[in-house]
Every structure is written in structure tokens, then in C-alpha cells.
């Protein structure tokens, strides 16, 4: 149910709100190589995360998604609860505030930025260990070729799997393909 809701929200995102402007305003006149580079779609993690949040809230508010109590919150800093000394701030949590009913912790990462993926995995595992979140979810955003060729993802996942499997933890990876605007659970 949680994974299906996340996949549904991802696929209902409006591409217009995720894509950045293709114009580099620093360049009034551009040469041919720059023109080709500027014509490519540009994406960053934050616009995807914000549009995902908006779409998931719409699904919740319409009743199409019901977590039976838990709500989604963005970038909650758990230092105030003395849970994490160095400020582990996940992209999203789905929980009932002021209780120990913790449903899901979600991290977003661009496939082009997978060199930092292991830190996200460690953060997810730590949220399971300290706060008993039931679902640990990593959303990877990229085009088909970057998602298929993401050796960094597999290497990091294997290292974390050795750690997390020993502790009964499981990270669910949801790949979001910006070419087909579809999701795939791994």
C-alpha cells in the first residue's frame, strides 16, 4: 500500500513542475555547443521532491490514498528529539506526529548523483534502528540509461545490504524514469 501510493504520486507528478528552465541567462549569445547543451532537459532533486509531496497530498486529500492515520511531512529535523546528534534529516517521513507510529522514511536521489547514495542508505537504516520505521524507501530519479547503468547504486546497495540484512532491515528502491514517466520497484 505505501509503495503503491509512492509510485502513484511519482507517476502523477506534472513534468512542468519538475523540469528547470533550459535557458542560461548569463549567455546573451551562445555558440553551437552551448546551444545543444541548453536544449537538454535539466532536472534537480528538490523540484521532484516538492512535486512528489504535492501529488501525494492530493492523493491523500482526495481519499485515493489512506495511511489510516499517518501523515507525510518534509525534511523533519529529529535533533530536537535527541534522536540523532548530527541532524539526520530525511526528505520525507510518513508517521503520526508525537507517537511512535512511524510508517515510512523516504529519500530522493538523482541517478546522476549516486556517488552519495550510500549516505542515504545509512540514514534510512538508522531511522529503522532508532525509530522503527516500517518502510525504508529510496527513490532514484533518472532516464532509462542512467537507471540501468547505475553501477554505483548496486555497489552501495550491496554494501548496505550486508549491514541491513544482518539487522533485518530492507531498503526498497523505487526507480523513476524521466523518459517514460514510470516507476519500477527494485
| 55 phi/psi in degrees, rounded to 5 | -70, -40
What is residue 146's predicted lDDT score, i.e. its pLDDT?
67
Alpha helices of the chain — where are they, by DSSP H? Answer: 2-11, 15-18, 32-38, 45-62, 117-131, 144-148, 151-166
What is residue 126's predicted lDDT score, i.e. its pLDDT?
84
Is 159 strand, coil or helix? helix
What is residue 166's predicted lDDT score, i.e. its pLDDT?
43
Contact (Cβ atoms closer than 8 angstroms) between residue 71 and residue 92: no
What is residue 33's predicted lDDT score, i.e. its pLDDT?
58
- What whole-number distance in Å separates Cα of residue 148 and Cα of residue 140? 11
Quick: pLDDT tens for 147-185. Answer: 666 666 666 666 666 655 445 468 898 989 888 899 988
Task: Name the residue ranges covered by the structural domains of the chain.
Answer: 2-185
List Cβ neighbours of 178 (8 Å cut-off, separation of 6 or more). 18, 41, 43, 141, 142, 143
Cell numbers for 149: 547503468
What is residue 134's predicted lDDT score, i.e. its pLDDT?
94
- Rounded to a whole number, what is the largest CA-CA distance in the chain? 58
Q: List, run by run, the mean pLDDT of 10-residue segments along the chain (186 residues).
A: 96 88 50 53 78 97 96 75 64 92 93 78 85 92 71 63 56 88 88
Model pTM above 0.85: no
- What whole-number distance in Å separates Cα of residue 150 and Cα of residue 13? 23
Distance of CA 169 to the CA centre of its chain: 18
Amino acid at each position: 500500500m505505501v509503495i503503491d501510493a509512492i509510485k502513484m504520486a511519482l507517476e502523477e507528478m506534472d513534468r512542468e513542475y519538475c523540469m528547470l528552465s533550459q535557458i542560461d541567462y548569463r549567455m546573451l549569445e551562445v555558440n553551437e555547443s552551448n546551444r545543444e547543451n541548453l536544449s537538454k532537459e535539466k532536472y534537480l532533486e528538490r523540484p521532484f521532491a516538492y512535486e512528489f509531496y504535492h501529488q501525494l497530498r492530493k492523493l491523500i486529500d482526495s481519499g485515493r490514498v489512506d495511511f489510516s492515520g499517518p501523515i507525510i511531512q518534509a525534511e523533519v529535523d529529529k535533533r530536537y528529539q535527541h534522536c540523532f546528534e548530527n541532524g539526520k534529516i530525511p526528505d520525507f517521513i510518513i508517521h503520526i506526529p508525537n507517537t511512535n507510529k512511524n510508517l515510512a522514511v523516504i529519500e530522493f536521489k538523482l541517478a546522476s548523483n549516486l556517488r552519495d547514495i550510500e549516505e542515504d542508505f545509512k540514514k534510512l537504516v538508522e531511522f529503522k534502528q532508532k525509530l522503527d520505521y516500517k518502510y525504508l524507501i529510496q527513490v532514484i530519479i533518472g532516464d532509462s540509461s542512467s537507471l540501468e547503468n547505475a553501477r554505483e547504486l548496486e555497489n552501495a546497495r550491496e554494501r548496505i545490504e550486508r549491514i541491513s540484512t544482518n539487522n533485518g532491515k530492507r531498503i526498497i528502491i523505487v526507480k523513476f524514469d524521466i523518459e517514460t514517466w514510470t516507476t519500477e520497484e527494485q
